Structure 1
């Protein structure tokens, strides 16, 4: 499936599948993280140290989530972004209020968490800490 542009983001939750259908299209690790709200290993993800120009999309449904221009090196061990493509993610507060869970607005796949007020010198003072396995990357020069 081709990656969607921000303007082509379907209505929230419009890309629903049963677990068996997800298992057929996702790797076991992608299923564990995207569907069961797991976390990939710190510092081991494919995109943690990648800073090439392009777009990061949901590994579950292909929705464009983040532009590389919002990615920064937070030192946390996971890909970090200071903002998402408008309308691409949902944020849900977790108990305790320290962080917000982030999910794909289209397929509800678990992406990671947002932390606010950590003092990073970014325009939003937010860190979207995203599991690499939840993402696919398309370089700026590739056809999507």
Structure 2
């Protein structure tokens, strides 16, 4: 992960103990869950999406939209400083990685200019396993 200090910190051993193997692979090793299998891909439940690693608020149902890409999509975080954006040059391409601003866990990536009819023209493509939905 990054060298930055986050408000929520744990040792690698503590992260492994508090997360399932699938959660750890995505949140702490920047993995990606398979498309169309995540529990929140198609949900329209009203509520707040929080980081599964530390519980910090990330998104709400009001920013969620159906992109048909295979992962939950949001056009913005609920508050801009809830997430950290970082350049990602893995896999032979340049992307923008989305991290939890409280613990530095990997959430997914953000893309721009895809033509979705949203207020920001951005798509925060987020792994379901990186979040927990608290229904209203």
| Counterpart selection for 1:134 from 122, 130, 133 | 130
- 1:21 aligns with 14
Contact 1:115 1:128 in 2 (8 A): yes
Q: Check conservation: 2:63, 2:78, Cα contact below 8 A.
A: no
Cα shift readout 1:47-68 (whole Å, capped 9, x = no counterpart): 0011111000000000010010
- Displacement of 1:98: 4.7
Query: Counterparts of 1:4-83 in structure 2 under 5 Å?
Result: 13-83=6-76
2:39 and 2:113 map into 1 onto residues whose CA distance is 27
Kindly provide the CA deviation profile for residues 31-61 of structure 1, in whole angstroms up to 9, marking residues without a partner as x.
Answer: 0000000001100000001111100000000
Matched residue of 2:6: which SS? coil
Q: Is the 8 A contact 1:98 1:115 kept in 2?
A: no
Q: What does residue 90 of structure 1 align with? A: 84
Matched residues in 2 for 1:138 and 1:64: separation?
10
Q: Which runs of 5+ in 1 are unaligned?
A: 1-11
* Alpha-carbon displacement from aligned partner over 1:84-119 (angstroms, at most 9, x marks no partner): 022110001223875210000000000000000100
Query: How many Å separate the matches in 2 of 1:13 and 1:91?
Result: 14
TM-score by length of 2: 0.91
Structure 1 runs (4+) deviating above 6 angstroms are none
SS for the counterpart of 2:99 is strand
- Figure out how many residues of one structure are paired with residues of the other and give that number: 129
